[in-house]
Amino acid sequence: MESRWILPDEIPDIIRMEGISKTFHPSEEYYRREPALFDPARTLAIFDGGEMVGTTATNRRTMTVPGGTLATATISNVMVLPTHRRRGIMTRMMDHHLRDIHERGETLAALWSSDTRIYGRFGFGISTLMEDWSIGRHDTTFSDPPVPKGRIRFVQPGQAGPVFSSVYEQVWPFRSGMMARNTTAWEYCLADVEEDRHDATRFFHAVYEVDGRPEGYILYRGHDARRELHVKELLGVTDEATSALWSYCLSMELMARFRIRNRPVDDPLPWMLANPRGLDRRPRDGIWLRLVDVPLALAGRRYLTEGRLVLEVRDESCKWNAGRFELTGGPGGAECRTTTATPDLVVSAADLGAAYMGAVTLGTLHRAGRITARDPSVLHKADLMFSWNVQPWCPDEF
């Protein structure tokens, strides 16, 4: 089978292939939105006798890590036709992309996983967590109702991008896992395609303003038949703006139920409700992260406390990462270099990716039997170093 980067006019073929793989017929809106995900120079396709049977795509993004940002390759549209599964096509594509990402100098790779059994073997670990929420109208009372200082106003779809972006730019640098959004990323986020509606309305766009300054926004739909409101994204620069938006959202009296997707696990809303038990919380994994260049990744973030660790990294997919590394880091920065010293911890690439931004502690992974520690006391030091003041979260879907 032939593997190569695609030609620009082959992007519609990938979208048709996605429809076959996921059993849906893409709409015209879908065909207009999806090309934003595909850079032909970074979209790999596998052909069997001239037929496209597998694809993967990557794009360069900038992602926040504790105390900084790093170049990150986002991997999407990992597909193999049902007729060609279990032939090693995915392994071939992932190996190709990881080598290419490394050669391009991108430190991290991130993806959303449709099957949690697949990506650990390629060195990816669950690096952000999130919750999906559902709450009935009778449970939306606040224990201490917020008193907003600003006002909510609606924004026309064509005007939402710049307004929402002005809020997002003030928020994303301060939470690990969030990514910079350029104009293309905003167009993709706000695109209102038929496949996403599930019989609900088109998006409503609302902004919270204080003295004319946007300090928060909400993007949502309504489902009239079920009397439901579906929130896609809600973001505030301040706690006051976030509280005001939740109050606005949950006070819509004609709605019987509110469904909110992809919230950070440390979101304050459950603690704002008079009856937090009424909020149905469904945790799930967010982005899966891989350290493509281990020493650069470890040196590229900051650490909550000063410390030194020697890590032995096991990495079958990116063999250039396999070895021992001495990490010295703290709130002011970090250094990482190869060493021959006795390791404090022996960790796989996937588990290092999971612990990298603090979604799970190295101590928890040790108790799960996934990593080896020279001395249990070193785990306490490692957990303090790798923790951070906010939980990692990624609202971007790619």
The dihedral built from the CA positions of residue 349, 353, 358 and 361, taken in this order, carries a sign that is negative
Collect all residues with Cβ–Cβ distance below 8 Å to 230 and sequence separation of at least 6.
Answer: 200, 220, 221, 222, 223, 259, 260, 261
Collect all residues with Cβ–Cβ distance below 8 Å to 107 and sequence separation of at least 6.
Answer: 70, 71, 72, 291, 292, 293, 296, 297, 300
Identify the bridge partners of residue 79 per DSSP, sorted by sequence position: 55
The answer to whether the beta carbons of residues 382 and 60 sit under 8 Å apart is no
Q: Output the furthest CA–CA distance in the chain (Å, rounded).
A: 66
Calculated CA dihedral for residues 167, 169, 170, 175, nearest 10 degrees: 110
Which of 33, 106, 104 has the alpha carbon at shortest distance from 63?
A: 106
The distance from CA 185 to its chain's CA centroid, rounded to whole angstroms, is: 13
30 is catalytic: no
Collect all residues with Cβ–Cβ distance below 8 Å to 245 and sequence separation of at least 6.
Answer: 152, 206, 208, 216, 217, 218, 234, 236
Residue of 30, 38, 119, 248 with catalytic role: 119
Strands 287-291 and 280-285: unpaired
On the 0-12 / 13-18 / 19+ scale of CB atoms within 10 A, 136 is middle
Per the rule left: phi > 0, alpha: psi between -120 and 50, beta: everything else, 333 is: left
203 is catalytic: no
> What 3-state class would DSSP assign to 271?
helix
Residue of 30, 38, 248, 398 with catalytic role: 398
Which pair of tokens denotes residue 118?
A: 């697949």
Type of residue numbered 179 = M
Collect all residues with Cβ–Cβ distance below 8 Å to 298 and sequence separation of at least 6.
Answer: 291, 311, 325, 327, 329, 334, 336
DSSP category for residue 142: B
Which uninterrupted H or E stretch holds 363? helix 362-367
Active site residues: 119, 398
